[in-house]
Amino acid sequence: MKTETLVTANERTGRSPKGVPSLGYGDYIRFSNLLLERCGLYFTDNRRSEFEHRLLHAFSASTCADLDEFYNLLIDPIAGALEMDLLVNAITVSESHFFRDTAQFNALYTHVLPKIIERKRALHTLRIWSAGCASGEEPYSIAILLRELLPDVENWAITILGTDINTDSLVRARSAIYGSWAFREERALQLRPRYFKQNNDRYELSPIVRNMVTFNKLNLVEPCFPSYETNTMSMDLVLCRNVTIYFNEDITRWIVARFYDALVDGGWLAVGHSEPSLSVYRRFRVRNFPDTILYQRLAQTASLRRPFTKVTAPLRIPIPPPPIPNDTPNLVQQHTPQPTADTCLPIPTVSPSPSVFPSSMEEDPLPQVHELLEYGRSEDAVNVLLKLIQVRPNDAKICILLGQAYANLGDWQEAETWCRQAFKYDRLALDAYYILSLVLQHQDKLEQAIDSMKKVVYIDRNYILGHYGLANLYYAYGWLPQAQKSLDNALRVLQGKPEEETVTGSKSITIKRLREAIIRQQQAWSVA
């Protein structure tokens, strides 16, 4: 409908790209200032001709009679939203190709990505952000490298986010179909037969790579990152190459500072060779590689931080089953039903029955703590852990286990305190968020519990218990559509797994048993 309107208007006015008026200096100033304010795009006088050409191209596609009307429409954030998108698309036309900048991708392949993988192997999670991804070649290149580097790639929860302000570029990125010019690097030509299907002179990316990348619109000059809402928190690697050259130095400093906050300690930032001076990146450690440099976030206290190992000890707080709906159910009042076998999903550990527990701290007592918790001796576990925390005060693992032990004892306040303490030392402490969610639920703090469980599936989108727990929390709060969606997500994660395989994070629940329980819940909730 909008396209028909545009065509009719252009025919009526007889306007064409050649027939539009040229910009006066005042027009150049007001339109360039508007784009600077809204998008951070900065055009110097020597780029005025380029700016005018792209602006007039966008104007010619509008229904406005003159530049004044066009400008007045653009400054209205609601009525002119579509036209602003079209203008930004015209101004930010970009071109990319696979594995652009050989030296930088060599550094990523031989050093940076292997280092990140080594650090994250315990969690099996990776988080990478391509900011200013254009038509998708950059994030897809990273996805291909990860498939080359990780023989067990399917066992990893990998988030690759591609963002751009240009909506046309994002459409092309999602289609993942490219011409020959996108493969002008040698590495791209070598890998093309493995990951692309040729159709005449076009090449379609394999779904196994395409599905690894998510694309979203994001304006880097808006204060929308880092945040959970934009999925830009806790990144292991951020690539923003040849993007900030379109910003002035003040805006670039502001954006780079936010990239720093978006990265985990030890995370990496890759920028283009033509980016501003090194002083913009002074908070980062400069890392030199052959023919390129990269930047690494290293906090001053990084050497004091201990690596996090995923906790697999049992939590004996069950996820509550869904209430059985009545003819006129009151969902909010039905959030404390008794657990059943199908819905009691603790975080497990499998270990032999403990016979002797250490009487000293000479050996690492954590394996024995897991056993104490496994066999119901939570008070003994607390006593050991409180001594250990005095020796290792910054250890997230100990905090998580204390949270679990106190939860087992029903001391919700202490459990909550220790879970939150764990976040100070590890922002991606999945088990702490999981335990905290269940603890908050027992305190009737459903909104906070939902928020905590959302972080679980944010950290690991393949963590089935997170999706399943979130479904039950949504249902308890009365949000049926969200609950159904979370059940769908849980089923999606279960898809293709052997029926007798044990659910990750559960003690003995099989894939078949959980799938049947979810289907029963879907049927019951559909009646509600």
Q: Read off the pLDDT of residues 128-156 as tens digits, 9 standing for 90 and up.
A: 999 999 999 999 999 999 999 999 999 99
Confidence band of 10 (pLDDT split at 50, 70, 90): very low
Higher pLDDT, 84 or 320: 84
Q: What is the spatial distance between Cα 342 and Cα 438, in angstroms, rounded to a whole number? A: 17
Strands (E), 223-336: 235-240, 263-271, 285-289, 292-296
pLDDT tens per residue across span 238-294: 999 988 888 888 899 999 999 999 999 999 999 988 776 778 899 999 999 999 999
Residue showing tokens 């004996």: 316
pLDDT greater than 50 at residue 350: no
**Digit-coded pLDDT (tens) for 497-521:** 888 787 777 655 778 878 888 888 8
Asked if residues 41 and 35 have their Cβ atoms less than 8 Å apart, the reply is yes
In sign, the C-alpha dihedral spanning 363, 365, 367, 372 is: positive
Residue spans in the chain of domains classed CATH 3.40.50.150: 102-304
- Choose among 69, 50, 49, 70: nearest CA to 58: 70
Domain 331-527, second-level architecture: Alpha Horseshoe (1.25)
Q: 102-304: what CATH class?
A: alpha beta
Q: What is the pLDDT of residue 322?
A: 37
Find, among 300, 326, 336, the residue nearest to 449 by Cα. 336
Chain-centroid distance of CA 281 in Å reads: 23
Sign of the CA dihedral 177, 180, 183, 186? positive
* pLDDT (tens digit per residue) in 438-478: 889 878 888 999 999 999 998 898 898 899 889 988 888 88
Mind listing the pLDDT tens digit for each residue in 203-239? 999 999 999 999 999 999 998 999 988 999 999 999 9
